[in-house]
A and B are shown apart, each in its own frame.
Chain A
Amino acid sequence: MGATIDLWKIAKTIMFYAVVVFIVVVSVFPFYYAILTSFKSGTDIFRVSYWPVSFSFDNYTAVFNQGSFPRNLLNSVFVASVTVILALFMAVTAAFALSRVRFRGRGFLLMVILAVSMFPQIAVLAGLFEVIRFLGIYNTPWALIFSYTIFTLPFTVWVLTTFMRDLPIEIEEAAIVDGATPWVIITRVFMPLMWPALVTTGLLAFIGAWNEFLFALTFTSSNDTRTVPVAIALLSGGSQYEIPWGIIMAASVIVTVPLVVLVLIFQRKIVSGLTAGGVKG
């Protein structure tokens, strides 16, 4: 009897680990394969292989030397950083008001903010296009910074509000007794406590802005003003049948590696931020 129970136990453990290995392989393989492809050159690319067979930097030098990819990379960094900083500035004070002060219409405001974060972007595309042309920022990074506020701002406000709501009242009481104004309370009392939350929300908003495609595709029209996702989507060879897969994979790896590293470093924080915001990256 004992032997069969042990066998059953072993079989169960093996099955469990088989599932675990399957999950890991499926999750990682496409990225692994992109890296593998990016280091192949010439006709090697068209020979399917599961392990590294050759190693060359040709695709990477090509990405940086032809076209405007370096410029696109800078655009992406600039747009995403400025968007996030602006959103955080507005969100910190708004989150204070929404989480620590009781006033009429607060519930309604929070509802509006949640609703905006669920907006289909396409619903505002026509109107945004008009506003952006009116402001004269069409085909500049500012068009993207302006339009990205529609999803970074509600998200940061929502997550920071959730976070601030859970801070204990006592920390504020002392400052109120000392006659501190709300502004002082935010900058001196809350900010030092909020760094972890700010970093997480900022990072998630950054990823959102870095990955955005629809606005970037619509509001920029020249190679020099595009961001990386649009540049990668539109990378093409001489004809439809000459797609430069090696170069596309190299560009993909370049834009993804920083994100993967950041996400792995901030793993735990990101998971908690995601569950608080319930928003897809």
Chain B
Amino acid sequence: MATDVMAEPVAATGVKIKSELMQQRVRAAQLFLLPMLLALAVVAGWPLLRSIYFSFTDASLNDLDGAQWIGFGNYLRWQTLESGAVRYRGVLADPAWWNAVWNTMRFAVVSVSLEAVLGMGVALVLNAEFRGRGIVRAAILIPWAIPTIVSAKMWSWMLNDQFGILNDLGMRLGLLSQKVAWTATAETAMQAVLVVDIWKTTPFMALLILAGLQMVPKDIYEAADLDGVHPVKQFFRITLPLVRPALMVAIIFRLLDALRIFDLIYVLTPNSSATKTMSVLARENLFDFDKFSYGSAMSTLLFLIIAILTILYIWLGKVRFDGGDR
């Protein structure tokens, strides 16, 4: 790689000059990194530490400075009643929190698996040579380009119970016997969210997988054809193993993204406990319910979950950080 050669910029000019050059470069590099590091410390590092700190205090929205340290009280505390029964309180004993955890996990797993399967399908189509491929590629970029809020609004109009086109279509095709309030009914709200998310994000998945597919040399397939290997077998024995690294990266990126979902759910199914995720619940507590420290505890827990998964990703994905393959 280029970076390996960089260690010796001009190999023939002697050791002394070389090391001076090296030192100059390293000093410059440190200077160049400074603005970025400062910026990240101010917008990411410090706020993260403060959020975690707030989760151990009794801070309220209007009195951040007067926050008192209360330990793990926001996470879990208990008191023994006179009757001898123990009452648990805090996020970890809050049914609303566990409902949000369940919603988030369910959403993340279902949406990402379906997106991976559909994305693979779209990628396989786009990888074939056919007329009009450019049009398809352009078409699938449209859902990706549309802002999430806009797609949430567009779909909530299409899913509207009285005037929505999807109810109309379903009735015409005989799939529905009566109009359904997709986003308002507890049973269908999560399905509606899943449909919109899958619609919006499958293109991203497909493009990442397509990049992997295009790296597979064509002559492998020619050889397999000559040997009379069935196309389905070719897919499972050749294509899938070869695109697996690209697929894994795409899946984990999407998984981390799905776990923090906020905007789609906030707009498509406001105040529905059937879809409320960790992010939505945390923000609600932080700014709408005036339980600032309680909300901070929730956001800290979500951060922990995502941090663990990120570490797993870096470890399992074998992402190399030192001039490696990326």
> In the bound complex, what is the Cα–Cα distance between A111 and B324 (angstroms)?
13
Tell me whether B140 and A120 are in contact (CB under 8 A). no
Tell me whether B287 and A275 are in contact (CB under 8 A). no
Measured between beta carbons, the chain B residues less than 8 angstroms from A16 are: 125, 128, 130
A207 within 8 A of partner (CB): yes
Tell me whether B149 and A211 are in contact (CB under 8 A). yes
Main secondary structure of the interface of A (DSSP, over half): helix
Tell me whether B144 and A90 are in contact (CB under 8 A). no
> In the bound complex, what is the Cα–Cα distance between A19 and B132 (angstroms)?
13
Segment at the B interface, from A2-10, A24-32, A60-68: A24-32
> In the bound complex, what is the Cα–Cα distance between A119 and B325 (angstroms)?
23
> In the bound complex, what is the Cα–Cα distance between A98 and B323 (angstroms)?
9
B296 within 8 A of partner (CB): yes
A97 within 8 A of partner (CB): yes
Q: Give how many B residues have a beta carbon under 8 Å from the other chain's beta carbons.
A: 109
Contact with B along A89-127 (1 / 0, CB 8 A): 111011011111111001111111111101111111111
Measured between beta carbons, the chain B residues less than 8 angstroms from A182 are: 24-25, 28-29, 32
* Max chain B C-beta neighbours (<10 A), residue from A177, A264, A271, A281: A281
Tell me whether B299 and A125 are in contact (CB under 8 A). yes
A220 within 8 A of partner (CB): no
Total inter-chain residue pairs, C-beta < 8 Å: 313
From A110, which residue of chain B is reached at the shortest CB distance? B321
Given known contacts A181-B24, A278-B250, A99 and B135 CB-to-CB distance under 8 angstroms: no
From the candidates A90, A110, A114, A274, name the one contacting B204 in the complex (CB within 8 A): A274
Contact with B along A190-213 (1 / 0, CB 8 A): 000000000000000001001101
Q: How far is the CB of A67 from chain B (nearest CB, A)?
A: 16
> In the bound complex, what is the Cα–Cα distance between A26 and B198 (angstroms)?
11
> In the bound complex, what is the Cα–Cα distance between A153 and B168 (angstroms)?
45
Q: Give how many A residues have a beta carbon under 8 Å from the other chain's beta carbons.
A: 110
A214 within 8 A of partner (CB): yes
Segment at the A interface, from B77-85, B151-159, B186-194: B151-159
Tell me whether A275 and B51 are in contact (CB under 8 A). no
A53 within 8 A of partner (CB): no
B110 within 8 A of partner (CB): no
> In the bound complex, what is the Cα–Cα distance between A90 and B29 (angstroms)?
12
> In the bound complex, what is the Cα–Cα distance between A63 and B145 (angstroms)?
22
Segment at the A interface, from B2-10, B87-95, B220-228, B232-240: B2-10
Tell me whether A177 and B6 are in contact (CB under 8 A). no
B142 within 8 A of partner (CB): yes
B120 within 8 A of partner (CB): no
Given known contacts A182-B24, A211-B147, A211-B149, A248 and B1 CB-to-CB distance under 8 angstroms: no
A256 within 8 A of partner (CB): yes
Tell me whether B148 and A162 are in contact (CB under 8 A). no
Q: How far is the CB of B189 from chain A (nearest CB, A)?
A: 17
From the candidates A94, A120, A129, A271, name the one contacting B207 in the complex (CB within 8 A): A271
Tell me whether A263 and B141 are in contact (CB under 8 A). yes
Measured between beta carbons, the chain A residues less than 8 angstroms from B292 are: 126
Measured between beta carbons, the chain A residues less than 8 angstroms from B163 are: 45-46, 48, 245
Measured between beta carbons, the chain A residues less than 8 angstroms from B7 are: 102
Given known contacts A130-B50, A274-B204, A278-B208, A34 and B125 CB-to-CB distance under 8 angstroms: no
Tell me whether A94 and B35 are in contact (CB under 8 A). yes
> In the bound complex, what is the Cα–Cα distance between A108 and B58 (angstroms)?
35
Within 8 A of A (CB), among B22-57: 24-26, 28-30, 32-33, 35-36, 39-40, 42-44, 46-51, 53-54
Measured between beta carbons, the chain B residues less than 8 angstroms from A84 are: none
From the candidates B25, B150, B164, B300, name the one contacting A252 in the complex (CB within 8 A): B150
Tell me whether B154 and A34 are in contact (CB under 8 A). yes
From the candidates B208, B259, B295, B303, name the one contacting A274 in the complex (CB within 8 A): B208
From the candidates B149, B155, B164, B204, name the one contacting A233 in the complex (CB within 8 A): B149
Tell me whether B253 and A169 are in contact (CB under 8 A). no
Tell me whether A149 and B262 are in contact (CB under 8 A). no
Measured between beta carbons, the chain B residues less than 8 angstroms from A96 are: 29, 32
Q: How far is the CB of A176 from chain B (nearest CB, A)?
A: 5
Given known contacts A24-B136, A126-B51, A182-B28, A214 and B125 CB-to-CB distance under 8 angstroms: no
Measured between beta carbons, the chain A residues less than 8 angstroms from B254 are: 280
Given known contacts A31-B142, A214-B262, A278-B253, A154 and B147 CB-to-CB distance under 8 angstroms: no
Tell me whether B310 and A118 are in contact (CB under 8 A). yes
From B121, which residue of chain A is reached at the shortest CB distance? A19
Tell me whether B204 and A280 are in contact (CB under 8 A). yes
* Max chain B C-beta neighbours (<10 A), residue from A20, A98, A107, A115: A20
> What are 17 inter-chain pairs, A to B, with CB distance below 8 A?
A19-B125, A33-B154, A100-B6, A111-B314, A111-B321, A122-B282, A122-B283, A123-B299, A123-B303, A125-B283, A128-B43, A166-B2, A213-B149, A218-B283, A228-B147, A248-B153, A267-B138
Which residues of A line the B interface, CB within 8 A?
Answer: 16-17, 19-20, 23-24, 26-28, 30-31, 33-34, 37, 45-46, 48, 50, 89-91, 93-94, 96-103, 106-116, 118-131, 133, 146-147, 149-150, 153-154, 157, 162, 165-169, 172-173, 176-177, 181-183, 186, 207, 210-211, 213-214, 217-218, 228-230, 232-233, 245, 248-249, 252, 255-256, 259-260, 262-264, 267, 270-271, 274-275, 278-281
